[in-house]
Structure 1
């Protein structure tokens, strides 16, 4: 799937798609509640009220750069707290290459945050050692986000993610730490959107008068646009994540800005009552 924003092209590379197995992340999103939001169907939910989500990367091509935003789960990882996320042997890199993006052609990797399902392909296992997957890329991490997980990965699953997907990038000299409002290129800048994680950022793309917002995990699913208080079980600060949702969605509601989620496809935000709804492109 691809979208154009001025001279910028955004391509979605899917690692994993799920239907309905998401209650652990959004427990309030029951089938009955989802069926009350008919604009979610069929693009973001089934007729039965089961959520549709994906784990994916977005390849952002500007006139000068080829950037991967978020890197999914990765292969061969261990210590994840969801069993099926361990020891994966998926074809993600082959799929990227088939789409025209061989790993060596990527010059930048940008992580909206450093959770398990956004950093996995930062590294791959070679001869028993974790090495950068994108050998020619600089990796951009938010400084606040990196320093938090460096200092606060106490649980075994968090420590595993940091040790196999983040720290090897730093040790390889590939990491650059950024302010949460940094400019990346002429077309791309960051927006500080903490709440889901302490240093979460979203990505604003501007080119030839057009705009796109890569929202990351400000919302895991568009149902959170209607229910701003439905904070994910993975949010580090649920109250702040709800406030961030309201602020970010209000900024881009009723505008032509293309919005793409960290786990859902593109659309446009519209105001509806005291909250919002999401209108799919397709």
Structure 2
């Protein structure tokens, strides 16, 4: 999976993608006009392509003032999602993804679940 780092003041933010799903049908959002998806914007290729939506299960790790904070939506593994089969009872190796991004579980001081 991927990770991206950026600096914001004296903090380092790391985006850690646990899993990504491409080509979710535009019809998933039936009230959004089709022409919106074809417009070029800052979100094109990050959130959709010609073939559909792109979503990611991701966390953020914030390193600031000697603390390492993991921000997680809690949307990960084992959730029942009958309307989105590709994420239904998702199983990823979350700790391996975290390690590949450069963090061990013991590195985390605080977990914020949104």
Normalising by structure 2, what TM-score? 0.73
2:69 & 2:46 partners in 1: Cα distance? 26
Moved more, 90-99 or 19-28: 19-28
Aligned-residue Cα RMSD (Å) equals 2.6
2:101 & 2:22 partners in 1: Cα distance? 24
**Structure 2 stretches of 5 or more lacking a match?**
none
Per residue, is there more helix in 1 or in 2? 1
**What secondary structure, in the 3-state scheme, does the structure 1 residue paired with 2:66 have?**
coil
Mapping of residues 213-232 of structure 1, within 5 Å? none
1:78 & 1:41 partners in 2: Cα distance? 28
Bigger relative contact order, structure 1 or 2, given CA contacts below 8 A and separation 6+?
2
Q: Does 1:15 align with 2:30?
A: no
1:78 & 1:38 partners in 2: Cα distance? 33
Per residue, is there more strand in 1 or in 2? 2
- Cα drift, residue 111 of structure 1: 2.4
Task: Find the structure with the greater CA-based Rg.
Answer: 1
Which residue is 1:63 aligned to?
65
**What secondary structure, in the 3-state scheme, does the structure 2 residue paired with 1:4 have?**
strand
**Structure 1 stretches of 5 or more lacking a match?**
113-282
Q: Judge conservation of contact 2:61–2:70 (CA < 8 Å) in 1.
A: yes
Q: Judge conservation of contact 2:74–2:113 (CA < 8 Å) in 1.
A: no
